[in-house]
Amino acid sequence: MKFTITRATFIKKLNDVSRAISSKTTIPILTGLKLVLSDNGLVLTGSDADISIEARIDADSETNDLQIASTGSIVLPARIFNEVVKRLPDAKMTIDVQDNFQTVITSGSSEFTINGLDANNYPHLPEIVNPQPLQVPADVLKQLINQTVIAVSNQESRPILTGVHVVISDGQLLAVATDSHRLAQRTIELPAAADSQYDVIIPGKSLVELGRMLTDDIQTVEMRFAENQVLFVAGQTNFYSRLLEGNYPDTSRLIPTSSTTQIEFDAPALLAATQRASLLSHESSNNVVRLNLNAQDQSAVIYGNSPDVGNVEEALTFNSLAGDDLEISFNPDYMKDALQGFGQTTIEIDFTAPLRPFTLVPSEDHEHFIQLITPVRTF
Amino acid sequence: MKFTITRATFIKKLNDVSRAISSKTTIPILTGLKLVLSDNGLVLTGSDADISIEARIDADSETNDLQIASTGSIVLPARIFNEVVKRLPDAKMTIDVQDNFQTVITSGSSEFTINGLDANNYPHLPEIVNPQPLQVPADVLKQLINQTVIAVSNQESRPILTGVHVVISDGQLLAVATDSHRLAQRTIELPAAADSQYDVIIPGKSLVELGRMLTDDIQTVEMRFAENQVLFVAGQTNFYSRLLEGNYPDTSRLIPTSSTTQIEFDAPALLAATQRASLLSHESSNNVVRLNLNAQDQSAVIYGNSPDVGNVEEALTFNSLAGDDLEISFNPDYMKDALQGFGQTTIEIDFTAPLRPFTLVPSEDHEHFIQLITPVRTF
């Protein structure tokens, strides 16, 4: 295998696949980056067994500037190879695999010889052929990921809750995550997928990495499902994730259908006030803030307290407040995570009782996005 | 004590004094920030016992916008106070010390009550009156610091070497640091200080913090020395550091006066090549790179090697090379630190023998700045 390429082109793809490579893997060859060069072009692969990322550099593209001398394959130690490629002196570099998988990387007057490994020993990626792949706009998918992964559990005691439950049916994609203290649910319309039916659980960590990879230059993402894998195709990059096995709990009955107190906020203003209140609750052993709502006085006040450090009290600005008076306590970090998912918009919060979960929805659309937070008992 | 101030003004000063405040201090009150308000203005103080920083906000300055309601003093927990001030909703804030050192911070509709401490229990800073303070341009002092602190030892086994030796005599300031493997020496002319005589050792950590504080808006720094303290006055900020006690070793005889091989490089190009070579030496148990110089062939080649990972070889570009052939090995990190101190300039490296220290000086000025590196025996 021998080829010459513009370093900047290569580095962009290298960064993409490096997301999947961990130095902490139990399978030594997965600390490496696989390069496979055929007449069609170069394929870079990185994997940590849960996530695998494959990036293609096509041979026939003018901009890629890939000059192929001979085809072949190699696995190179990813961390050091990354550092070497990024520090090379010239705009171009040549990679030449010689005897015993010794790989010579030349650029300008600099010549590195790196010990590689046989690419035949690298695990194979699943082949996922799907008669009817689903198309999702990349920006919508990225937003859906950011809005739901916040509620994923990071505790391995109930592994199923470390994933996002994705259900596709009736031309809709529903994504829901809960760590049993809070829940985030987002629905998007997929008109072209009317007769597709899927019910899968995608690890939250996989979706976080996928979200980071979805840069603004990517328009559409194609989703393909197999037995225990999902493949996201974004431009020249394939992102594979294993699926979680098991039954996700039924979350639909957790969401209250009625409320006794309703308040409308600008999400960024409430976020800022919650952050201030959390400065003191974080100093306390129980990380809780209190909200007092009084419709008659038209007042909403948030309180944070730390016996050692002090306390904070802030009268909140809101758009409207109706219903029963309420005093409710909650973890401000759950509120902050939820509010960040709404961005620059107006939200409605619906309460039923001091110890019953409350919900946050965009004022403009109560159907497609909902965050639910379980309050904390403080008495 | 009660005052109102523009938050941005206060935050700038708060950032300055916070450099000195450590949460790891053994003196609990030093985790706090001291505020003293007099009719002249507000003084903020932070200290970790080694370094103390005092920042003044004058009452009579229009831009400071300090409105004094009543004078007084308080010590507030620095970390949480910092976070609170930075998150307040309004451009202005009011600080009001009430009974039992309870301090109320209001801004917009947000009201924090923080438990403060009696400022009378805060350690006093030394008074350093000096009949003839020394004036140094701030940019020159900052450069001097950056060029010398790199060679300071971080090992407490010889505490004296954790400082920079500063000698002022004959209208010159000489700063030298060595960790016994390398040495950095910088001299600056102080024409106005012809008859000042000082010989002190300033902790390297203090100088690093001072350097960070010297932003572009500061023109001149005034230096005042006392028995065991040095005070740097930069604009409205006083920076105190304790001095190290003991005798600094005589370093003047370490610097060779003759050489057998001389080579001239562009510092940034040699830095980049050394960084590349160090990628592989860092993977090896002995972090060493090798330089081969041959004046007859006019060749200079740098080598890095890791038995596990691979090796690198690079022909260096240089401006001139004269003298005996040489093969020499050294720690590339010392070379990188030294080269970073030169910036975008041409340097001369002078060698005598494979196991004798070699020196780096700017091509244009061999007198005022010198870096010395001791090679490593590899055979």
In the stretch 99-118 of chain A, residues with CB closer than 8 A to chain B read 102-103, 109-115
Given a cut of 80, whether residue A131 has pLDDT beyond it is: no
For B291, counting Cβ atoms within 10 Å of its Cβ (0-12 exposed, 13-18 middle, 19+ buried), the class is buried
Evaluate whether B123 touches B30 at the Cβ level (below 8 Å): yes
Is A217 within the bounds of a domain? yes
Given a cut of 90, whether residue B195 has pLDDT beyond it is: no
Q: Do B50 and B108 fall into the same domain?
A: yes
- Mean pLDDT, residues B10-27: 93
ipTM, two decimals: 0.88
Is B378 within the bounds of a domain? no
Contact status of B87 with chain A (Cβ, < 8 Å): yes
Is A21 within the bounds of a domain? yes
Asked if A87 lies within 8 A of B275 by C-beta distance, the reply is yes
pLDDT of residue A194: 67
Is A95 within the bounds of a domain? yes
CATH label of the domain that carries residue B309: 3.70.10.10
pLDDT band at A92 (very low <50, low <70, confident <90, very high): very high
Q: Do A145 and A111 fall into the same domain?
A: no
Asked if B111 lies within 8 A of A77 by C-beta distance, the reply is no
Residues A52 and A19: their CA atoms lie apart, in Å, by: 9
pLDDT (tens digit per residue) in B132-158: 789 999 999 999 999 999 999 999 899
Contact status of A315 with chain B (Cβ, < 8 Å): yes
Task: Give the minimum alpha-carbon distance from A191 to chain B in angstroms, rounded to a whole number.
Answer: 44
Residues A307 and A157: their CA atoms lie apart, in Å, by: 32
pLDDT (tens digit per residue) in B196-207: 899 999 999 999
Domain boundary among A242, A275, A292: A242
pLDDT of residue B196: 82
Q: Do A7 and A117 fall into the same domain?
A: yes
Is A251 within the bounds of a domain? no
Residues A68 and A227: their CA atoms lie apart, in Å, by: 37
Evaluate whether B215 touches B150 at the Cβ level (below 8 Å): no
Residue B350 neighbours by CB under 8 Å, 6+ apart: B256, B259, B261, B262, B358, B359, B361
DSSP class per residue in B21-87: --TT-SSGGGGEEEEEEETTEEEEEEE-SSEEEEEEEETT-TTT--EEEE-EEEEEEHHHHHHHHHH
pLDDT of residue B226: 87
Evaluate whether B328 touches B359 at the Cβ level (below 8 Å): no
Is B44 within the bounds of a domain? yes
Contact status of B83 with chain A (Cβ, < 8 Å): yes
Given a cut of 90, whether residue B356 has pLDDT beyond it is: yes
- Please report, rounded to a whole number, the percentage of residues in chain A having pLDDT higher than 70: 99
Asked if B313 lies within 8 A of A111 by C-beta distance, the reply is yes
Q: Which of B56, B90, B72 is nearest to B3 (CA)?
A: B72
Contact status of B184 with chain A (Cβ, < 8 Å): no
Average pLDDT, chain A: 94
Domain boundary among A92, A121, A150: A121
Amino acid at A10: F
Asked if B110 lies within 8 A of A80 by C-beta distance, the reply is no
In the stretch 38-67 of chain A, residues with CB closer than 8 A to chain B read none
Half-sphere exposure of B323 (CA within 13 A, CB side): 19
- Please report, rounded to a whole number, the percentage of residues in chain B having pLDDT higher than 70: 99
Contact status of B84 with chain A (Cβ, < 8 Å): yes
Read off the DSSP letter of residue B139. Answer: H
C-alpha distances in angstroms, B295 versus B261, B314, B325?
9, 17, 6
Of the two residues B270 and A131, the one the predictor is more confident about is B270
pLDDT (tens digit per residue) in B271-292: 999 999 999 999 998 899 999 9
pLDDT of residue B194: 67
Given a cut of 80, whether residue B160 has pLDDT beyond it is: yes
- Mean pLDDT, residues B83-112: 97
Residues A352 and B98: their CA atoms lie apart, in Å, by: 39
Asked if B308 lies within 8 A of A115 by C-beta distance, the reply is yes
Least confident of A60-74, A89-103, B260-274: A60-74
Of the two residues B226 and A244, the one the predictor is more confident about is A244
Q: Do B108 and B138 fall into the same domain?
A: no
Instruction: Assign B345 to helix, strand or coil.
Output: coil
Evaluate whether A264 touches A346 at the Cβ level (below 8 Å): yes
Of the two residues B94 and A128, the one the predictor is more confident about is B94
Closest partner residue to A115 (CB to CB) among B109, B309, B314 is: B309
Q: Do B144 and B113 fall into the same domain?
A: no
In the sheet with B51-58, reading across from the earlier edge strand, the strands are: B72-77, B32-38, B41-47, B51-58, B237-242, B229-234, B220-225, B134-137
Task: Give the minimum alpha-carbon distance from A64 to chain B in angstroms, rounded to a whole number.
Answer: 25
Q: Do A209 and A171 fall into the same domain?
A: yes
Closest partner residue to A80 (CB to CB) among B80, B112, B309 is: B309
Q: Do A62 and A164 fall into the same domain?
A: no
Q: Which of A51, A39, A91 is nearest to A237 (CA)?
A: A51
Task: Give the minimum alpha-carbon distance from A314 to chain B in angstroms, rounded to a whole number.
Answer: 4
Q: Do B278 and B366 fall into the same domain?
A: yes
pLDDT (tens digit per residue) in A245-270: 999 999 989 999 999 999 999 999 99
Q: Where are the alpha helices (DSSP H) in chain B?
A: 7-18, 78-87, 138-148, 204-213, 267-281, 332-340
Evaluate whether B96 touches B81 at the Cβ level (below 8 Å): no
- Point out which residues pair with B310 in neighbouring strands: A114, B306
**Which residue range is the domain that position B357 belongs to?**
255-373
The region that residue A68 occupies, defined by phi over 0 for left and psi between -120 and 50 for alpha, beta otherwise, is beta
Token reading at B235: 């604009």
Residues A10 and A6: their CA atoms lie apart, in Å, by: 7
Closest partner residue to A109 (CB to CB) among B102, B111, B314 is: B314
Given a cut of 80, whether residue B178 has pLDDT beyond it is: yes
Q: Do B313 and B346 fall into the same domain?
A: yes
pLDDT of residue B193: 72
pLDDT of residue B23: 86
C-alpha distances in angstroms, A242 versus A14, A34, A50, B243?
22, 19, 6, 60
- Mean pLDDT, residues A225-251: 94
Given a cut of 80, whether residue A63 has pLDDT beyond it is: no
pLDDT of residue B93: 97
Asked if B87 lies within 8 A of A275 by C-beta distance, the reply is yes
For B365, counting Cβ atoms within 10 Å of its Cβ (0-12 exposed, 13-18 middle, 19+ buried), the class is exposed
pLDDT of residue B320: 97
Q: Do B145 and B55 fall into the same domain?
A: no
In the stretch 263-292 of chain A, residues with CB closer than 8 A to chain B read 272-273, 275-276, 279-280, 283
Asked if B80 lies within 8 A of A314 by C-beta distance, the reply is no
DSSP class per residue in A27-92: SGGGGEEEEEEETTEEEEEEE-SSEEEEEEEETT-TTT--EEEE-EEEEEEHHHHHHHHHH-SSSE
Is B127 within the bounds of a domain? no
Query: Which chain A residues are Cβ-neighbours of B87 within 8 angstroms?
Result: 272, 275-276, 279
Domain boundary among A69, A95, A121: A121
CATH label of the domain that carries residue A57: 3.10.150.10
Token reading at B16: 């300055």
Asked if B114 lies within 8 A of A310 by C-beta distance, the reply is yes
Q: Do B138 and B116 fall into the same domain?
A: no
Asked if A317 lies within 8 A of B109 by C-beta distance, the reply is yes
Q: Do B334 and B236 fall into the same domain?
A: no
What is the count of structural domains for chain A? 3
Task: Give the minimum alpha-carbon distance from B91 to chain A in angstroms, rounded to a whole number.
Answer: 14
- Point out which residues pair with A165 in neighbouring strands: A176, A201
Evaluate whether B222 touches B135 at the Cβ level (below 8 Å): yes
Token reading at A215: 């840069």
Given a cut of 80, whether residue A236 has pLDDT beyond it is: yes
DSSP class per residue in A323-350: ES-EEEEE-HHHHHHHHHTT-SSEEEEE
Is A58 within the bounds of a domain? yes
Torsion angle of the four alpha carbons A177, A179, A181, A185, in this order, in degrees rounded to the nearest 10: 0
Chain A nearest-CA residue for B312: A112
Task: For residue B14, report the phi and psi dihedrals to the nearest 5 degrees.
Answer: -60, -45
Amino acid at A224: R
pLDDT (tens digit per residue) in B300-322: 999 999 999 999 999 999 999 99
Of the two residues B17 and A192, the one the predictor is more confident about is B17
